[in-house]
């Protein structure tokens, strides 16, 4: 489905599929990342600093030779030290994008958007990728209002930056993304099968 969404779209540094790690999930992240298609990306979102650094270095080692980009969530210093491919800023820190861009002009910089107001802020900043979430209800953010196909389509249509759908996506609902004109899919449990 990610390949179909991505077909014919302008080049995007994150391909059509992004895997986000989550330290609340017991998964072999290196194995899951290695199974991604060439051109995909991984966002290391582990919250524990030591675990995050170990995982970033492990994933860079196994992903880079396969043409898979590795971004570090909310830690530009670690991204610099590890020579990662970019940084993911959570919505609450999106205003740091200009400073992060100054650190490395070639980085992929992404952020999350959850509605029209955050999309409007993101469009004024130097982002390469936006993750619109949650598309569907998720276990990681219980109680969060899901965008659904209509609101997601409106966000994607209003964006000059490639939009990826994130949240609650799996084989049973990925087909609902086609009319939304998103650029790709960002997954956690939907890829790991946890």
* pLDDT score at 137: 72
Question: Considering all CA atoms of the chain, what is the largest pairwise distance in Å, rounded to the nearest integer?
Answer: 41
- Nearest alpha carbon to residue 59 among 77, 75, 36, 90: 36
Return the sign of the alpha-carbon dihedral for residues 118, 120, 126, 131: positive
Both tokens assigned to 50: 């030591």
- Which of the four pLDDT bands, split at 50, 70 and 90, describes residue 112? very high
Tens digits of per-residue pLDDT, 18-62? 999 988 888 999 999 999 999 999 999 999 999 999 999 999 999
Q: What pLDDT, on the 0 to 100 scale, is given for residue 77?
A: 97
Query: Which position has the token pair 């969404």?
Result: 5
Name the β-bridge partners of 165.
132, 185
> Domain limits of the chain?
2-189
Residue 24, pLDDT score: 85
Query: What average pLDDT does this structure show over 67-87?
Result: 97
Measured CA to CA in angstroms, residue 11 lies from 19, 167, 181 at distances of 18, 23, 15
Residue 87 scores a pLDDT above 70 = yes
Please give the CATH number for the structural domain made up of 2-189: 3.20.20.70
Q: Which tokens in the block code for residue 118?
A: 């955050």
pTM: 0.91
Higher pLDDT: 144 or 77? It is: 77
Q: Yes or no: say if 9 and 37 are a contact pair by the CB < 8 Å rule.
A: no
Interval 149-181: pLDDT, tens? 899 999 999 999 999 999 988 878 888 888 778
Distance CA 188, CA 11 (A): 23
- Point out which residues pair with 164 in neighbouring strands: 131, 184
Neighbouring residues of 153: CB distance < 8 A, sequence distance ≥ 6: 179, 180, 181
- Buried b / exposed e over 107-123, threshold 16 CB at 10 Å, is bbbbbbbbeeebbeebe
pLDDT interval class at 10 (50, 70, 90)? low
Please tell me the predicted confidence (pLDDT) of residue 3. Answer: 64
More confident residue, 53 or 190: 53
For the cut 50, the answer to whether the pLDDT of residue 124 exceeds it is: yes
190 pLDDT band, cuts 50/70/90, is low
How far apart, in whole angstroms, are the C-alpha atoms of residue 190 and residue 135? 13
């Amino acid at each position: 489905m990610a390949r179909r969404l991505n077909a014919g779209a302008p080049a995007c540094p994150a391909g059509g599929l992004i895997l986000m790690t989550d330290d609340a999930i017991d998964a072999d992240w290196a194995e899951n990342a290695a199974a991604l298609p060439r051109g995909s990306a991984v966002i290391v979102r582990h919250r524990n600093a030591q675990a995050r650094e170990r995982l970033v270095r492990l994933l860079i080692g196994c992903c880079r030779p396969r043409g898979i980009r590795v971004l570090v969530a909310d830690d530009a210093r670690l991204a610099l030290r590890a020579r990662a491919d970019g940084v993911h800023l959570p919505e609450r820190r999106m205003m740091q994008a200009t400073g992060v861009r100054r650190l490395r002009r070639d980085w992929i910089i992404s952020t999350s958007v959850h509605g029209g107001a955050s999309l409007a802020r993101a469009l004024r900043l130097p982002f390469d990728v936006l993750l619109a979430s949650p598309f569907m209800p998720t276990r990681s953010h219980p109680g969060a209002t899901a965008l659904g196909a209509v609101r997601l389509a409106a966000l994607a249509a209003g964006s000059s930056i490639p939009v990826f759908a994130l949240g609650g996506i799996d084989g049973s609902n990925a087909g609902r993304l086609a009319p939304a004109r998103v650029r790709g899919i960002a997954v956690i449990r939907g890829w790991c099968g946890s």
